[in-house]
Amino acid sequence: MIVEGKNAVKELIKAGKTIDKICAQKGDKMAEALAFQARESGARAVFCTKENLDKISVTRKHQGVIAYTTDFVYSELSDLLTGKEDSRLIIILDGVEDPHNLGSILRSAECMGAAGVVIGKHRAVAVNETVIKTSCGATEYVKVARVTNINDAIRALKDLFFKVYAMDMDGEAIDKCDLKGDVALVLGSEGSGVSALTKKLADRSLRIPMSGEIASMNVSVAAGVGMYEYVRQNAKK
């Protein structure tokens, strides 16, 4: 797995993940400092020109540093249920295909303290170099469960008394719904939204009230709004 960008590599080192090799741009003080830190933990550090980094970069936005590490390790759905038990938020993505959207959602999930994110193995983007770069290091902290069947995951969470809400333009206003306790928010693909069967499995559908002329939001933005509303309602006063 290739991890690119200063923030992403910084969080990789901070999290204590194994780095096999790190390439840093000569003359870039922050990039070189990251390479020295990684080398202290056993990584092989290589200092090269920007042109060399451009050639090996996958995202084309390496910011002067590229790290090579082991492939991303997914969690099991059960792993997302460990930890705090007073109120847990899980984000379920039904067919999100854009790596930039997944990376942004993971970043918001980390900031909002979500228990984890569930993605599908089929017809959906996996955690790749672009996702890691876009997440700005959030992939080192957010648990991601990659499941064969999204609907089976929803059924499992409902058996554990999670309230499952599908975010959909035809639902009720999200700020009028009770989001306290254990909640799973389901967001659909960029093109068609939440699938019909998945929407049917959910306890209800929720929409984000909007007053503009455009009647829809980018899925990563919608996820961020949904997570914020959950945090707002569960904040201890």
pLDDT tens column, 72-101:
889 999 999 987 667 899 999 999 999 999
Whether the CB-CB separation of 181 and 201 falls below 8 Å is answered with: no
Band of pLDDT at residue 60, cut at 50, 70 and 90: confident
Give the tokens for residue 6: 């200063």
Residue 155, pLDDT above cutoff 80? yes
Question: In 10 A of CB 212, how many CB atoms?
Answer: 6
pLDDT of residue 237: 63
pLDDT of residue 84: 66
pLDDT in tens, 100-153: 999 999 999 999 999 999 999 988 999 998 999 899 889 999 999 999 999 999
pLDDT in tens, 183-230: 999 999 988 899 999 999 999 999 999 887 777 789 999 999 999 999
Give the tokens for residue 181: 């306790």
For residue 111, CA distances in Å to 104, 137, 141 come to 11, 11, 10
With b for 16 or more beta-carbon neighbours within 10 A and e for fewer, the 105-116 pattern comes to bbbbbbebebbb
| Inter-helix orientation angle 29-40/6-14, to 10° | 20
Rg (CA), the chain: 19
What's the CA angle centered on 114, arms 81 and 129, to 5 degrees?
Answer: 105
pLDDT of residue 217: 87
Q: Which domains does the chain have, with CATH numbers?
A: 2-69 (3.30.1330.30), 77-234 (3.40.1280.10)
pLDDT of residue 197: 95
Separation of alpha carbons 159 and 230, rounded Å: 21
Whether the CB-CB separation of 161 and 197 falls below 8 Å is answered with: no
- Which residue in this structure is represented by tokens 């090269």? 48
Question: In 10 A of CB 208, how many CB atoms?
Answer: 18
Residue 71, pLDDT above cutoff 90? no
pLDDT in tens, 18-44: 888 999 999 999 999 999 999 998 889
